Structures are given as C-alpha cells and as structure tokens.
Amino acid sequence: MSLLTRVVPKHVPPVSAFWAVLESVDVNAVKPARVRRNWLGTDYVFDCYVSQHMKDEYQAGNVVIGDYVLVECLDWDPDRMGVVAKVYKSW
C-alpha cells in the first residue's frame, strides 16, 4: 500500500489517560479488554491490557460490560494501553 492510498484519520486521539466504555472481555487474549472511546465525534476502539485489580473486580462481578473505565497509556505508548480502574459516571 502506498502512502497516497493510506487512509489517515482526521483526528488522532491524544495519548493520555482517558475514560472509555468497556465493550468486551476475552480472558484468553493477550490484551483482554476492548474499550470504546468517542473523541471529537469519532468512535475509537482499543484493545487494552488489564491490571490485576480490574481482573479481580471483573471476576467478582463488580465490573461489567458497558461500565466506564479509566484507561492509561503505559510510557506514552498507544500500543500499551491498560485498563486500571472503574469510573462512576456522575454527569
């Protein structure tokens, strides 16, 4: 694929901590959590690592699909995102 035919998104989301909606969990995958984030009117879907605390909370039933979660980029690398906590929506 040449650079002329590559589709580049209009906006690239910033590489920082953000909240997202937990879309799915695959316990056998390397990056078990899939999250969805809406930024500037565009939906972005990311596969993420999960902290041990979040694994325990998911197995206990305290975190379910559709919950808001906090996602952090490890060492500012967008390929190394991790779900670290549940966020309680109050707005």
H or E element in which residue 19 lies: strand 18-25
| Mean pLDDT of all residues in 19-43 | 88
| Mean pLDDT of all residues in 10-27 | 81
Task: Please give the single-letter amino acid code of residue 14.
Answer: P
Task: Please give the single-letter amino acid code of residue 16.
Answer: S
CB neighbours of 25 closer than 8 A, spacing ≥ 6? 32, 33, 34, 50, 58, 65
Which single residue is written with the structure tokens 């996602």?
A: 71
- Is the pLDDT assigned to residue 7 strictly greater than 60? no
* Residue 1 confidence (pLDDT): 47
Q: Are residues 68 and 86 in contact, defined by beta-carbon separation less than 8 angstroms?
A: yes
* Residue 16 confidence (pLDDT): 81
